[in-house]
Amino acid sequence: MTAKIFQEKCIGCTWCVEVCPHQIIIISKENNKAEIINAKFCIECGACALQCPVEAIRSHPIGCGCIGGVLRKKINKILRKENPKSCCN
């Protein structure tokens, strides 16, 4: 299984793109919505789903959840640092 994006809900914020440890989410130039490319590399970490502000992604985390990466991103946002990294990077 891989994460699933419900594009009708997506607002194109790019947060899922930033946290995906395998960088397999892009924002489509056609409709400005997130989509998963190379889905076979999805590890179901759940980071994208945790990060999405509008619950447009469904994932069933089976691994680390990359929660460290999500928390780090939020902390970096508070500290105004750029280019936060996921724990899997």
Helix (H, G, I), strand (E, B) or coil at 22: coil
Tokens describing residue 66:
């990359």
Min CB(80)–ligand SF4 separation in Å: 20
Neighbours of 58 (CB within 10 A): 15
Min CB(78)–ligand SF4 separation in Å: 19
Query: What is the distance between the alpha carbons of residues 6 and 80, in angstroms, rounded to a whole number?
Result: 30
Kindly state whether residue 50 participates in binding ligand SF4, applying the rule CB under 6 A.
no
**Residues lying near ligand SF4 in the complex (CB under 6 A):** 3, 5, 10-16, 19-22, 24-25, 34, 36, 42-48, 51-52, 54, 56-57, 59
